[in-house]
Structure 1
Amino acid sequence: MQALFDQELSRQIARSTRLGIAEMVQQQLQRALSGDGENQSLIPSVDRLLQSSPAIGTPPVHRLRPFEPIIEKAARTHNLNANLIRSVILAESSGNPRAVSPKGAKGLMQLMDATARELGVRNPFDPEENILAGSAYLARMLARFGGDLTLALAAYNAGPTAVEKYDGIPPFTETRLYIRKVLSFLRHLDGR
């Protein structure tokens, strides 16, 4: 009986939040694997699964409609592909301007307080401030890593020092999942 209840609850959540089952599973995996290391032995298995699985579902692009003028402005200002900005927003916050991560990242592009301050953000929950600053930071990471999108995304997620320390993508499952998710959204949005 509990299994039927759980299954129906999952369906209702997926329907009401417009999250697909694959995205829900991915979020659970990220939470489980980004903890204190107790599940680190699962990382090789998860990596193999990710390599063989299809793209992570259809992004909830409809959530970005209210922010389209800001996204377009940020793309022009920072010479970025608007779909890349959309993809980062979807991966970071699913288009929720009030999102707060367990680590304290805030807003649509999930800015950490120190990064937000460095970029002059007064209110990380203000969509315009957040998107313009997050896009500036993304453009900075692209420049820092010679235009390599994968490394720039790794730096956006794990920090540029982690990318430099590991001389490439850090061996963090959360970062690998993040890169995969952003690139999957980008392929979908670019129609590839």
Structure 2
Amino acid sequence: MLDMIQALGNKCIYGLNNFNKCSCSSDLGAFNMVMESLLKAMKESNKELNSNELEISIESLFNNINRLDVNTESLNINEKIECAIEKYSNKYGVDAKLIKSIIKVESNFNPNVISEAGAQGLMQLMPEISQSLGVKNPLDIEQNIEGGVRHIKSYVDRYNGDIEMALMAYNGGPTRMMNRGVTSINDIYKMPKETQNYVPKVISYYRSL
């Protein structure tokens, strides 16, 4: 009986080791509940087994499982960024490669960068944008990426999936585009030099991924 419990535990731990770090915590919570129910049932059906011996085996199994519990606090900065990109890409339906490309050009993956104009964090959110999106701490990796993804998503939707137009709006602003008569990527010359350089940089990195 003890051998069976240990074998089951080892098999489950092997599977947990192969979980994606970004989802490991939530998967472990559900897994622990299932294992607890299973082991209790096994204990009830084996009255002849020494209870202390079984308790020790169960405790050992859960100690091993708990050591595998991975959350964002234990990840390094790059892993936190990757997890946040994956999370909010899925949540808002934005290509993760596009998010990564924007971050590369905006901040080169530095979550603490603040531009001379006041743009903050990985996706360089301006204070007024952060406020409108409910981002309380734009230097926080998760908050900044969620806000930035929502922001670019609004432009992707606004321009019917045209990534280049969405990027132009993200950098140069939709009001400026409208005032300058920008109706397609061919009108990018009407935008500031910064935007003219920004869009092809992001697109180039995006296509390289």
TM-score range, shorter chain: 0.5 to 0.7
Task: Please report how far the alpha carbon of residue 171 of structure 1 lies from its aligned counterpart in structure 2 after TM superposition.
Answer: 2.5
Extract unaligned runs of 5+ from structure 2: 1-76, 183-187
Partner of 2:65: none
Q: Which has the higher helix share?
A: 2
Task: Please report how far the alpha carbon of residue 101 of structure 1 lies from its aligned counterpart in structure 2 after TM superposition.
Answer: 0.7
Partner of 1:92: 106
Distance in 1, Cα, partners of 2:168 & 2:176: 8
Task: Please report how far the alpha carbon of residue 66 of structure 1 lies from its aligned counterpart in structure 2 after TM superposition.
Answer: 3.4
Distance in 2, Cα, partners of 1:171 & 1:115: 20
TM-score (norm 1): 0.64
Bigger relative contact order (CA 8 A; separation at least 6): 1
Write the letter of the residue equivalent to 2:194.
E
Q: Is residue 2:164 matched to residue 1:144?
A: no
Partner of 1:182: 202
| Alpha carbons 1:151, 1:163 under 8 Å: kept | no
| Alpha carbons 2:122, 2:144 under 8 Å: kept | yes
Task: Please report how far the alpha carbon of residue 125 of structure 1 lies from its aligned counterpart in structure 2 after TM superposition.
Answer: 0.1
Partner of 2:133: 119
The one of 191, 199, 208 equivalent to 1:171 is 191
Partner of 1:110: 124
Q: Is residue 2:177 matched to residue 1:157?
A: no
Partner of 2:62: none
Distance in 1, Cα, partners of 2:111 & 2:103: 9
Task: Please report how far the alpha carbon of residue 145 of structure 1 lies from its aligned counterpart in structure 2 after TM superposition.
Answer: 1.5
| Alpha carbons 1:87, 1:183 under 8 Å: kept | yes
Task: Please report how far the alpha carbon of residue 186 of structure 1 lies from its aligned counterpart in structure 2 after TM superposition.
Answer: 0.2
TM-score (norm 2): 0.59
Extract unaligned runs of 5+ from structure 1: 1-62
Indicate the RMSD between aligned Cα atoms, in angstroms: 1.2
| Alpha carbons 1:64, 1:86 under 8 Å: kept | no
Between stretches 139-148 and 163-172, larger displacement belongs to 163-172
Between stretches 70-79 and 106-115, larger displacement belongs to 70-79
Residues 26-45 of structure 1 correspond to what in structure 2 (within 5 A)? none
Task: Please report how far the alpha carbon of residue 184 of structure 1 lies from its aligned counterpart in structure 2 after TM superposition.
Answer: 0.8
Write the letter of the residue equivalent to 1:124.
P
Task: Please report how far the alpha carbon of residue 64 of structure 1 lies from its aligned counterpart in structure 2 after TM superposition.
Answer: 4.2
Distance in 1, Cα, partners of 2:163 & 2:180: 16
Write the letter of the residue equivalent to 1:182.
V
Would you say how many aligned residue pairs link Structure 1 and Structure 2? 127
Q: Residues 180 and 65 of structure 1: is their aligned pair in 2 closer, same or farther, counting only changes over 3 Å? A: farther
Q: Residues 152 and 64 of structure 1: is their aligned pair in 2 closer, same or farther, counting only changes over 3 Å? A: farther
Write the letter of the residue equivalent to 2:133.
L
Distance in 1, Cα, partners of 2:89 & 2:124: 17
Query: How high is the sequence identity, in percent, across the aligned residues?
Result: 41
Write the letter of the residue equivalent to 2:86.
E
Greater C-alpha radius of gyration: 2
Write the letter of the residue equivalent to 2:207.
R
